[in-house]
């Protein structure tokens, strides 16, 4: 480096870092100092260089989390053949995340399906009007059987063969059961 000339700003700025690092030599150091004494612009640059350098050197070093060392040790213990390469390790983590998300999705879908099923079941329950209508039709049917069978279909046959399945069907639904019984009795069946 040449220092036998009066250094201009460009030369000083080019050598600021060397100056800050004390790598400029005695003559170069003196030349920069002399130039900065009469050049405010270069002095500001020099101050900034010193401050930036100082701040950079006080930026923190991080300590590796213990889990990283533990994981590396575990990986080593599993044997060289089983060492997971960096991309694969990330893939494993991705697959694990995807599996968790899939499980959550399944739970949500199953929950929605269950709620919907409950709603449909509630809607499918017979209303009181439905039961009244069905009971009236049943009474009509029995009346028909009684009228045209000329006593062939006896009461015990009705009680053993016809009524039980009807009662069973009605008893499955509490609304039907409560509403149907009085109606059936009303029609003398």
Partner 1 sequence: MTRDFRDLAEEYAGRVYTFARYSLRHQEDAEDVTQEVLVRLWKNHDQIDPAATSTWVMRVARNLVIDLARRRQSRAAVFAQGADVEEMAAQVPADYAADAAAERSSLRARLEGALAELNEPYRSIVVMREIQGLAYEEIATAMNMPLGTIKVYLHRARRRLRELVQTENT
Contact positions vs partner 1 (CB under 8 A): 17, 45, 48-49, 51-53, 55-57, 59-65, 67-69, 71-73, 75-76, 80, 83, 85-87, 89-90
Instruction: Indicate the Cα dihedral angle 22, 28, 29, 33, nearest 10°.
Output: -140
In 3D space, the residue among 144, 148, 123, 138 whose CA is nearest the CA of residue 170 turns out to be 138
DSSP tag of 96: H
Pick the closer one to partner 1 by CB: 20 or 126: 20
Distance, C-alpha 15 to centroid of its chain: 55
**Shortest spacing between CB 91 and partner 1, in angstroms:** 11
Q: What does the angle CA 43 – CA 49 – CA 52 come to, to the nearest 5 degrees?
A: 140
Pick the closer one to partner 1 by CB: 56 or 129: 56
**Shortest spacing between CB 86 and partner 1, in angstroms:** 5
Contact 19, 10 (CB under 8 A): no
Pick the closer one to partner 1 by CB: 90 or 154: 90
Pick the closer one to partner 1 by CB: 74 or 172: 74
**Shortest spacing between CB 104 and partner 1, in angstroms:** 21
């Amino acid at each position: 480096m040449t220092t036998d000339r009066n250094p201009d700003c460009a030369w000083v700025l080019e050598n600021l870092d060397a100056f800050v690092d004390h790598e400029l030599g005695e003559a170069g150091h003196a030349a920069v100092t002399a130039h900065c004494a009469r050049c405010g612009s270069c002095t500001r640059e020099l101050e900034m260089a010193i401050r930036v350098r100082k701040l950079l050197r006080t930026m923190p070093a991080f300590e590796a989390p213990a889990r990283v060392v533990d994981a590396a040790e575990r990986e080593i213990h599993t044997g060289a053949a089983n060492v997971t390469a960096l991309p694969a390790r990330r893939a494993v983590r991705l697959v694990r995340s995807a599996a968790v998300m899939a499980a959550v999705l399944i739970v949500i879908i199953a929950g929605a399906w269950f709620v919907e099923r409950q709603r449909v079941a509630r809607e499918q329950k017979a209303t009181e009007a439905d039961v009244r209508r069905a009971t009236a039709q049943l009474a009509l049917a029995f009346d028909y059987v009684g009228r045209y069978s000329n006593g062939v279909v006896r009461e015990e046959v009705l009680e053993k063969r016809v009524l039980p399945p009807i009662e069973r069907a009605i008893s499955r639904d509490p609304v039907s059961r409560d509403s149907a019984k009085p109606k059936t009795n009303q029609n003398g069946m």
